[in-house]
Amino acid sequence: MHGVRNRAWRFSDDQFAEYTTALGCAMKTASWQADLQQLRHLRLFNNVAASSISRLLKEFRACDLEAGEVLLSPFNRNQYLYLLLQGQLKVHLGSLDSQAVSTLKVGDCAGEISFIDNDHPSAYVVATESCCVLRLHRESLFKLFQQSPELMHNLLELLCDRVRKGNRIILDSERTANIDPLTGAYNRRWLEHIFERESTRSAFNDKPLCMLMLDVDHFKVYNDQHGHLAGDYALCWMAHTLRNQLRPKDSLSRFGGEEFVILLPESGSEEARNIGERLRQALHLVSSFHSPIGVLPGVTVSIGLAQKQPKDSLQGLIARADSALYRAKQQGRDRLCD
């Protein structure tokens, strides 16, 4: 498989199209003895009578795949539905070098969407080991539906399942794009989005909007004394503690390194100060916490507060919160300034 990836990386689109076409042509016809009892347990043949399965199998052809062989590629239209009888297939979106988004196992189908609409597949499907598949050409599709309505029902269920999985992948990708992988807090990308939403809502409802900027005190010293892994756990613990203290409408974002930003909708400076002090004390009062590497010292934070002015951009509000944070550090840390 790695060999396929490396070759694909060096090829132009046209060259790789020729390469995957050649692989498809090179797929070897397999010697395979149908086991009706085994097939009846596969999802595609669920509730299909054994006599119908026997007739259906006349339209299928068994083929062998070698490890690393590309079964489906977005470069080529697909004419076949594939049913995996042996081995394992991986599904990659966008590129063979991308992380696999799903694994197909014995009994799973591949290519059902492009098989029906006669278009290019939306993903790469690659054999991770020696595989055997049943292959059905799309010209046989409607004849088989007439022979077995149950087969059509099963294929529609497979299509619905694939669409739902695709939607979950989109949602997971969107979430991953907005979430800091270490702390689980939102990232700067989400901060930009949520600021636009909350600033518009603030102006429309004539409600205040405040920002807290937090920085872990003496974090470099903490890392030097306890190690960077301990520092990571400290940031995770801190983010978890802060989230538990916030209201549902508040949003916590990791701004960078040991800096975090919190947007407080519908909160004026006095209420924001009370919230900030509550957050600061929640960390200040914990001298140690448990982590996977043992008990670690707690951390404190310095906090800068700024209330949004009518013409404030995100950068402008951040700059004023950062100036307040600088004053908090200058005055001794573990405190809030506005």
The DSSP secondary-structure symbol of 44 reads G
Is the alpha carbon torsion for 7, 10, 13, 15 positive or negative? Answer: negative
Distances (CA, A) of 6 to 1, 94, 142: 9, 15, 40
How far is C-alpha 70 from the chain's CA centre?
24
- The string of DSSP letters for 82-150 reads EEEEES-EEEESS-TTSPPSEEE-TT-EESHHHHHHTS--SSEEEESS-EEEEEEEGGGHHHHHHH-HH
The verdict on whether 112 is a catalytic residue reads no
- Work out the number of other CB atoms within 10 angstroms of the CB of residue 302: 25
How far is C-alpha 254 from the chain's CA centre?
18
The tokens describing 121, both together, are 């597949």
Distances (CA, A) of 45 to 48, 109, 161, 166, 188: 5, 11, 16, 23, 49
The DSSP secondary-structure symbol of 258 reads T
Distance, CA of 251 to CA of 212 (rounded, Å): 10
Q: Which amino acid is at 155?
A: L
**300 neighbors 283 (Cβ within 8 angstroms):** yes
The single residue of 258, 270, 271, 277 carrying the catalytic annotation is 258
Distances (CA, A) of 331 to 57, 270, 276: 80, 20, 17
**298 neighbors 330 (Cβ within 8 angstroms):** no
**81 neighbors 120 (Cβ within 8 angstroms):** no
Distance, CA of 66 to CA of 128 (rounded, Å): 8
Active-site residues, by number, are: 258
